[in-house]
Structure 1
Amino acid sequence: MNVRRLIPATAVTGAVALGITALSACSGPDTAGGSDGKLDVVASFYPMQYLAEEIGGAHVSVTTLTKPGVEPHDLELSPRQIGSLSDADYILYLKGIQPAVDDAIAQSGAKNTVDAATLTTMETHGAEVDGHDHASSDDHDEETAGRDPHVWLDPVKYAEVAQGVGKSLEKADPDNAADYRANTDALVKKLDALNTEYAAGLKSTTTKTFLTTHSAFGYLAERYGLTQEGIAGVDPEAEPSPARIKDLQHIAEEENATTVFFETLASDKTAKTLAKDTGLRTDVLDPLEGITKKSEGHDYIEVMESNLAALQKALGAK
């Protein structure tokens, strides 16, 4: 995460104007849905895309602002992407994780927007690492500052969000409300089963502590009685201070931690450095901010199951 790379508000305003001009010929003010009759949905990044596709089914055409392999926190939007927000029938995003998206939506004037953060209870995790609050990537908004946005990594909270998304799609497209409701119920059942799998799989372990370069797993840890020890907050690229390394060495020894986790969308340099200094292993714990060829699964459920297997191995599940 590097907030200095985000485009300024003036650039967003100009880009909105350019994007709207570029796309105005494609859709008029009376257009309802795309030319194929589907609801045009814009999702901010993969966890929102997955919900839109699973719940929307055959009735939606989903595009995502964050391409596979792009670190969502650092996303920069093109004028065309920003312009597409004004023409979308429905926008699904998570305020507080992608400031560039938050700013673009606010500038676009789009009416049918759904902030997933309002569909569940948000909490604070991963604060005060090295004396700084790293719990939020959105320092420009007092409403979201200090709030952990990674709710999708808790299947229970993700199910709550899914239910809210389903209801909002019913309102946006009442003709297909029954299908949205059925698809929501089916997804919630899958998430409930995933929660049961996690609860059983992590019930009895040798240790409850895991180390990670990306402090994205606060909700997951809280849900299943684990302790997340982040190296440097929510920024997976941040270099830990010598003091933090020393603290983590002590924690690893005291809590019998075995593994330092890193993610697929960021460098493993920090994890390997800490592992070498502490004599621990390294492994992948995917924050599911995007699906790529390197992902241990083709969708949310598969990658979450891979994460469970990695945690069971690291924590000594019995």
Structure 2
Amino acid sequence: MNVRRLIPAAALAGAVTLGATTLTACSGASAAGGNTDGKLAVTASFYPMQFLAERIGKEHVAVTTLTKPGVEPHDLEITPKQTGRLGESDVILYLKTLQPAVDKAVAQSGVKNVVDAGTLTALEAHAASGHDDHDHAAEGEEHDHDHGGAGKDPHVWLDPAKYAEIAKGVGAALGKADPAHAADYEKNTATLVTELGSLDTEFKDGLKTTASKTFITTHAAFGYLAERYGLDQEGISGIDPESEPSPARMKDLQGVAAKDKVTTVFFETLVGDKTANALAKDTGLKTDVLDPLEGITDKSQGADYFEVMRSNLKNLQKALGAK
């Protein structure tokens, strides 16, 4: 196997200025040591891909992620120099349409082993409202999820069952790129898929009986989770978690909250609670965190995917009145 040496984290970190925010390509935990001799150089676009690479690849891979912790992944931009360094990867893991800048860089990278997670499971279209009788026209804006993917929602990792399907594909891709360790990748994949199956069961059991089935969130990222566990998602701002909702949408959500016995407005750690607080103030509701797991920071309610997902479950159970 001809495994290229991964560019050390210090060399990879290139500054990208987006508005007032400075972004850098940063190394994941596995690459922190800087010595990647003999390891498969894997570049992940953002945290959910990084997590799979690290859990499946373990000691055989050196993982670098393009999205710095604390940066909203949708906003990431990449310099031409970073695109060139991306070409040093043995494997690239990304989710097409979620990050347009990454899509462009991957297309220009020339890397042979490129894995689009969206091809490893069935993507679906989800609206910001889970109610069939909801009138989007009254909002004066479009709330369907469309990150450039013909209306398909990319947030598949928030459904443990779909994430398990992606894990299987990633494991197979790593085995193909590094046949010498294929057996280990297969074993690690099986272990992870079993853990995700257990998490799926926890969500099914934990949300089986609730006082309400409706949850309101600033970012309409939970369509797959809602569909999997029989819930109705009501997104305040639709695609962009930082956009301001229309007055009509806020009024509409006040009606939904009263009708469906909603107790809580959820916000996410990477964006903040400004919009959630505004709606909560108008409706007398509480606020809490529902994390779309697009990145892990010191503000996250957990240190990894499983811990944050279990925090999400706990927060949903509390808000929905689980019995």
Tell me the TM-score normalized by structure 2: 0.85
Output the CA distance in 1 between the equivalents of 2:314 and 2:80. 41
Does 2:290 align with 1:285?
A: yes
Q: Shift in Å at residue 145 of structure 1?
A: 2.6
Pairwise CA distance, 1:85: 1.6
Q: Which residue of 2 aligns with 1:98?
A: 99
Structure 1 residues not aligned, in runs of 5+? 7-33, 139-143
Name the structure 1 match of 2:63.
Answer: 62
Task: Select which of 196, 209, 212 maps to 2:214.
Answer: 209
Is 1:135 aligned to 2:148, yes or no? no
Task: Kindly report the root-mean-square deviation, in angstroms, between the aligned alpha carbons of the 2 structures.
Answer: 1.4
The CA deviation at 1:267 is 2.3
1:1-318 matches, within 5 Å, as 36-126=37-127, 130-138=140-148, 144-318=149-323
Higher-helix-fraction structure: 1
Other structure's SS at 1:256 match: coil
Structure 2 equivalent of residue 29 of structure 1: none
Paired residues, what number?
282
2:133 matched to which residue of 1?
Answer: none
Report percent identity of matched pairs.
67
Q: In structure 2, what is the Cα distance between the partners aligned to 1:121 and 1:265?
A: 27
Q: For residue 39 of structure 1, what is the amino acid of its counterpart?
A: L
Tell me how far apart the structure 1 counterparts of residues 38 and 50 of structure 2 sit (CA, whole Å): 19
SS across alignment from 1:164: helix
Preserved contact between residue 166 and residue 181 of structure 1 (Cα < 8 Å): yes
Q: 1:12 aligns to what?
A: none
3-state SS of the aligned residue for 1:158? helix
Aligned AA (1:132): E
Q: Is the 1:133–1:146 contact (alpha carbons within 8 Å) kept by the matching residues of 2?
A: no
In structure 2, how many angstroms separate the alpha carbons of the residues matched to 1:45 and 1:35?
20
CA offsets, 1:155-187, max 9 Å, x none?
000000001111111111111010000000010
If the length of structure 1 is used for normalisation, what is the TM-score?
0.86
Task: Quote the offset at 1:133 in angstroms.
Answer: 4.1
Q: Distance in 2 between matches of 1:80 and 1:286?
A: 32
Report the Cα offset of residue 266 of structure 1: 0.2
Letter of the aligned partner of 1:253 in structure 2?
A: A
Provide the C-alpha distance between the structure 2 equivalents of 1:122 and 1:82, rounded to a whole number of angstroms: 27
CA distance in 2, matches of 1:121, 1:162: 14
Match of 1:13 in 2: none
Secondary structure of 1:219's match?
Answer: helix
- How far is the alpha carbon of 1:130 from its aligned partner? 4.2
